[in-house]
A and B are shown apart, each in its own frame.
Chain A
Amino acid sequence: MADKELLVREKQELQTDAEQTRPGVVFTPAVDIFESDKEISVLADMPGVASDGVTIDLHNDELKITGEVDPQGSENETYLLREYESGRFHRHFSLSDRIDQNKISASMKDGVLRLVLPKVEKAKPRKIEVTSA
């Protein structure tokens, strides 16, 4: 894995069916979603988003993540090269398992959101014994 070189990937602009009421571009963050027996975890790349800029909304198994960014640089600067744009992030998912809303935890580090969504007890897998008749 260490030998692999990273390639440029263009930031994906959000294709939304809802009308935007605020100016600016919205991007969809790249995510990793994985689950264990106990919880579902989401890792999302949201560069420029501080921990107080993240909004997480879980409603009817629909998870929405929004990240607000501060503009990079000041207004006095003139662009000489511009290969990427910055803008806020938004993505939503539907979750199949029941999530214990009170135990959700989220943290931001170096522009990566880590969201841990613990499953409720009854959604955890049970081993079913097969008995021979």
Chain B
Amino acid sequence: MAVVRWKPGLFGWHRDPFSEMDRLRREMNSLLGTFTGRRGVAPTAGVFPALNVSDDESNLYVRAELPGVAPEDIEITTKENNLIIKGERKIAAEGEKVSYHRREREAGTFRRIISLPSRVDANKVTAVSRNGVLTITLPKAAEAKPRQIKVKT
């Protein structure tokens, strides 16, 4: 379970009250999940790949587990406020001389689109695939970043 740091004030200065309520609801759900054993994983959207989206002050992170997908077979596009992940998982044939005991791994294509929860700087998006885990880092646009405003006396 993710440990979330205490943020100053219930309606912290960097979030509007409604998104803060949303966050609270999500965290209550994930907390309840720990008692019922589901540990706060949302039902998937039914589209491959399953995604985890998180953020910190400056970036959004989109992660997916894509074992056996070569980095050159993944295509990532941003369009307005949407992120599109396309690709193909290829499983090479092992030849006709082998017989299978188990065949659980699947090959095929995938296409997924998600709308991003905040505006991002599309020119600075980076994607890294490491050990079969894809991480897309999307820097938040200047207007979406939290800003502290000094009160003058």
A and B found bound together: yes
Q: Which residues of A contact B (CB under 8 A)?
A: 1-8, 10, 25, 30-37, 41, 43, 45-50, 72-86, 108-112
User: Are B109's CB and A83's CB within 8 A?
Assistant: no
* Given A31-B105, A77-B54, A110-B132, A8:B68 Cβ within 8 A: no
Q: Interface-forming stretch among B94-102, B119-127, B144-152?
A: B94-102
Q: How far is the CB of B105 from chain A (nearest CB, A)?
A: 5
Whole-angstrom CA separation of A32 from B92 in the bound complex: 12
Interface of B is mostly: loop
B94, A45: Cβ atoms closer than 8 Å: no
Residues of B close to A4: CB separation below 8 A: 106-109
Binding site for A on B (CB under 8 A): 2-5, 23, 26, 30, 39-56, 60-61, 63, 65-71, 88-89, 91, 94-95, 97-111, 114, 117, 129, 131-133, 135
Judging by beta carbons under 8 Å apart, are A6 and B52 in contact?
A: no
Q: With A73-B61, A77-B61, A112-B132 in contact, is A47–B66 under 8 Å at CB?
A: yes
- Shortest beta-carbon distance, A48 to chain B, in Å? 5
Q: Contact between A79 and B52 (Cβ–Cβ < 8 Å)?
A: yes
Q: Is the CB of A5 within 8 A of B99?
A: no
User: Of the candidates B50, B68, B97, B99, which one forms a contact with A83 in the assembled complex, judged by CB atoms under 8 Å apart?
Assistant: B50
Q: Give bound CA distance, A32 to B103, whole Å.
A: 4
A45 partner residues in chain B, CB cutoff 8 A: 67-68, 105, 132
Smallest distance from the beta carbon of B73 to chain A beta carbons, Å?
10
Contacts A78-B2, A78-B55, A112-B67; A32 near B61 (Cβ below 8 A) = no
Contact B48 A32 (CB under 8 A): no
A68: min CB distance to chain B, Å: 11
Contact A75/B55 with A43-B105, A47-B65, A111-B68 known, Cβ cut-off 8 Å: no
**CB < 8 Å neighbour of B56 from A25, A77, A82:** A77
Across the interface, do B54 and A73 meet the contact criterion of CB distance under 8 Å?
A: yes
| Given A79-B54, A86-B65, CB of A6 within 8 Å of CB of B109 | yes
Provide the residues of chain A in CB contact with B50, threshold 8 Å: 8, 83-84
B19 to nearest A CB, angstroms? 10
- B41 adjacent to A6 (CB under 8 Å): no
Q: Tell me whether B45 and A83 are in contact (CB under 8 A).
A: yes
A111 to B132, Cβ gap below 8 A?
Answer: yes
Is the Cβ of B42 less than 8 Å from the Cβ of A81?
A: yes
Selected A-B contacts with CB under 8 Å, 27 pairs: A2-B88, A4-B107, A4-B109, A5-B110, A6-B89, A8-B46, A25-B39, A30-B104, A43-B105, A49-B131, A49-B132, A72-B133, A73-B52, A73-B54, A73-B61, A74-B56, A76-B56, A78-B23, A78-B55, A79-B52, A81-B51, A82-B52, A83-B44, A110-B68, A111-B65, A111-B66, A112-B68
